[in-house]
């Protein structure tokens, strides 16, 4: 979740680090800090709150150091404060560290260190690392060995950067379950937890892999495994540039990314939906999946993910069951690993993660592999941990997603899952070629239909202007629409802080209807004509109790006349693929409510883009 940066070179490190941290603000944070080796002293400056407060703190100082580390923290141990902010140091201030992740045995280590006379300043688990490295350094007199020895005693996850007064030419880095990337410059090198922080300087990078260490100098980088053995690896090249991560005239990244969905969905399908010479869709081609035969004999599909990605999995459950007649279990990844799940060697196991670094999802992946299953990963980030550990990887090709609240990542995940379901249906004989081609043509038309919705966004904006002060918002739907309601409610609560919940429409009368009053908005998602009468009755039930009702539907026959206050009509599509369209007005509604309530939708409180801790 947190942002890590480091620099060794010939420029003023403080400005390089602060500018790099700005590129990582999208990850979510509650404090920021830097540590610079300036002459004989490590200067540590940190501040609670936005990065601007750190900038204000150092604005009057001349910090001449050319080597340093920086961090934006998202609190796990200890409240957000100046003291708990990173970097943390040993008692003498000769060693400074930044750390992402969680030290699970920190309490045990802290008690042991306190018995050695160490006095702690903060409430964090990270400070334990600073003192533990110092303890080992005093024994060995060599920094790399000290870090190496300290980490053998640590349980948990870390992306760790170490600056030491006695080693003014280098930084030591280590990684376990939290991402790190090294940017290779000309007479200078950069370190970060994510590529945007270094992209303005270089596209040539080393991704530090699981349980690796790195010693970063201004003119070269040495990679090692945890045993201290040197690792030789060619650097990678980042193909996308910073223009993709800029707002391009939009007021916020969230609305920019909502509008990027037609292109992102097209990119996701490109080369995967096969067309004949007449332009007719005929097949799905996933070159990433080498063994499609396993889909013919599989008993079921198991999907594990978190948050928005989990909601994509719930939609996929309906798609796989309808199109491929496969049993599907969808598990919240944070629960999956703890319940001793029943898995069969013939199960198809799919994990979904936008960042490819979601800690709970990685744990689910590892458990599945321990049980002998082959794992398919759906992710957006090349070089992420999930891509290295999964057996097969399907990239969503959504491009960089900066806003914390996911939009285009969700719809491109859905697109991948729909294509997989159609391919499975063909392989298993549950879909005829004619039926499969019909659904593929539907998918092929989705980007232009999303654009049609975006072109009519003023309808959603106008409705939001009337409803943004409601106390309670309930999303309801049936089947596919019930799954879409989950993501719609999450999006609204994430960025507007409005209390929103999702229910299967038929469940309203089994309890939730007790909450309905005049301060309630009910958003009904209704894309399935065979169920219009049923969900129409649900709309009537809540409206007679004082609720305002918005329906997102493809109905053009006034089937809901007298039961609603407003309708947003999506373009025609099959009820199977409608989830790719019904979510778009819900995303827009969440965005506009956020703006109307004076909230920055790109940086919702308490949230982070990449959840790399459990």
CA 353, CA 595: separation in Å to the nearest integer?
27
Reading across the β-sheet that carries 520-526, which strands appear in turn? 499-504, 472-477, 520-526, 548-553, 566-569
Check if the beta carbon of residue 146 is closer than 8 Å to that of residue 133. yes
And the tokens for 250? 């939009």
- If one counts every other C-beta atom within 10 angstroms of the C-beta of residue 342, the result is 9
And the tokens for 139? 């024994």
Helix (H, G, I), strand (E, B) or coil at 477: strand
Active site residue 470: no
Which DSSP string corresponds to 77-90?
A: SS-SSTTTSSPEE-
Helix (H, G, I), strand (E, B) or coil at 318: helix
3-state secondary structure 4-46: EEEEECCCCHHHHHHHHHHCCHHHCCCEEEEEEEECCEEEEEE
Distances (CA, A) of 587 to 136, 249, 462, 464: 51, 19, 14, 12
Q: Name the burial class of residue 591, with classes exposed (0-12), middle (13-18) and buried (19+) by CB atoms within 10 angstroms of its CB.
A: buried
Between β-strands 3-8 and 67-73, what pairing exists: parallel, antiparallel or unpaired? antiparallel
Q: Name the burial class of residue 53, with classes exposed (0-12), middle (13-18) and buried (19+) by CB atoms within 10 angstroms of its CB.
A: middle
Q: Residue with structure tokens 């990173």?
A: 86
Check if the beta carbon of residue 124 is closer than 8 Å to that of residue 97. no
Give which of 104, 107, 120, 198 is closest to 158, Cα–Cα. 104
CA 124, CA 113: separation in Å to the nearest integer?
14
Helix (H, G, I), strand (E, B) or coil at 194: coil
Write down the catalytic residue from 2, 281, 306, 416.
2
Write down the catalytic residue from 22, 317, 491, 609.
609
Task: Give the chain's length.
Answer: 614
Run of H or E including 281:
strand 281-284
Active site residue 306: no
Check if the beta carbon of residue 14 is closer than 8 Å to that of residue 65. yes
Distances (CA, A) of 99 to 2, 242, 253, 542: 8, 26, 27, 50
Active-site positions read 2, 609
């Amino acid at each position: 979740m947190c942002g890590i940066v480091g620099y060794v070179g010939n420029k003023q490190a403080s400005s390089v680090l602060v500018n790099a941290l700005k590129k990582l603000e999208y990850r979510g944070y509650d404090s920021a800090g830097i540590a610079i080796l300036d002459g004989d002293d490590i200067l540590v400056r940190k501040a609670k709150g936005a990065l601007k407060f750190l900038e204000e703190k150092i604005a009057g100082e001349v910090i001449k150091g050319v080597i340093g580390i920086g961090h934006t923290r998202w609190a796990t141990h200890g409240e957000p404060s100046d003291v708990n902010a990173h970097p943390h140091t040993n008692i003498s201030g000769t060693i400074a560290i930044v750390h992402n992740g969680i030290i699970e045995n920190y309490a045990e280590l802290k008690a042991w260190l306190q018995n050695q006379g160490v006095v702690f300043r903060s409430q964090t688990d990270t400070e334990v690392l600073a003192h533990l490295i110092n303890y080992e350094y005093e024994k060995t007199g060599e920094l790399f060995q000290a870090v190496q020895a300290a980490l053998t005693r640590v349980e948990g996850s870390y992306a760790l950067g170490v600056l030491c007064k006695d080693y003014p030419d280098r930084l030591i880095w280590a990684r376990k379950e939290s991402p790190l990337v090294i940017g290779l410059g000309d007479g200078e090198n950069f370190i970060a937890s994510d590529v945007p922080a270094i992209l303005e300087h270089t596209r040539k990078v080393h991704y530090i892999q699981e349980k690796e260490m790195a010693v970063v100098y201004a003119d070269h980088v040495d990679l090692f495994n945890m045993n201290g053995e040197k690792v030789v690896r060619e650097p990678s090249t980042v193909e996308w540039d910073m223009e993709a991560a800029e707002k391009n005239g939009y007021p916020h990244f969230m609305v920019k990314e909502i509008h990027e969905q037609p292109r992102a969905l097209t990119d996701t399908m490109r080369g995967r939906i096969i067309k004949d010479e007449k332009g007719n869709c005929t097949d799905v081609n996933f070159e990433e999946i080498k063994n499609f035969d396993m889909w013919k004999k599989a008993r079921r599909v198991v999907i594990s993910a978190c948050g928005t990605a989990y909601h994509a999995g719930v939609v996929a459950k309906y798609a796989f069951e309808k199109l491929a007649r496969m049993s599907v279990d969808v598990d919240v990844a944070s629960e999956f690993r703890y319940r001793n799940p029943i898995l069969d060697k013939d199960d198809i196991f799919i994990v979904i993660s936008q960042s490819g670094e979601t800690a709970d999802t990685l744990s689910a992946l590892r458990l599945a592999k321990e049980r002998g299953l082959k794992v398919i990963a759906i992710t957006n980030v090349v070089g992420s941990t999930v891509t290295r550990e999964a057996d097969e990887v399907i990239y969503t090709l959504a491009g960089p997603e900066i806003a914390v609240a996911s939009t285009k990542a969700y719809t491109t995940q859905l697109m991948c899952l729909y294509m997989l379901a159609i391919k499975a249906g063909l392989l298993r004989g549950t879909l005829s070629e004619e039926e499969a081609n019909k659904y593929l043509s539907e998918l092929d038309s989705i980007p232009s239909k999303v654009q049609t919705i975006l072109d009519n966004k003023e309808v959603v904006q106008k409705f939001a202007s009337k409803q943004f002060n409601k106390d309670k918002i309930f999303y309801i739907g049936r089947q596919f629409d019930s799954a879409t309601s989950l993501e719609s409610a999450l999006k609204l609560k994430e960025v507007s802080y409005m209390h929103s919940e999702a229910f299967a429409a038929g469940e309203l009368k089994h309890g939730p209807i007790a909450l309905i009053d005049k301060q309630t908005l009910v958003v009904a998602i209704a894309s399935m004509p065979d169920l219009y009468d049923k969900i129409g009755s649900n709309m009537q039930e809540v409206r007679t109790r004082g609720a305002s009702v918005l329906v997102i539907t493809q109905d053009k026959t006034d089937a809901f006349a007298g039961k609603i206050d407003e309708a947003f009509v999506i373009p025609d599509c099959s009820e199977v693929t409608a989830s790719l369209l019904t979510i778009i007005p819900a995303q827009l509604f969440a965005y506009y409510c956020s703006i109307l309530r004076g909230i920055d939708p790109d940086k919702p409180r308490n949230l982070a883009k990449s959840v790399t801790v459990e």
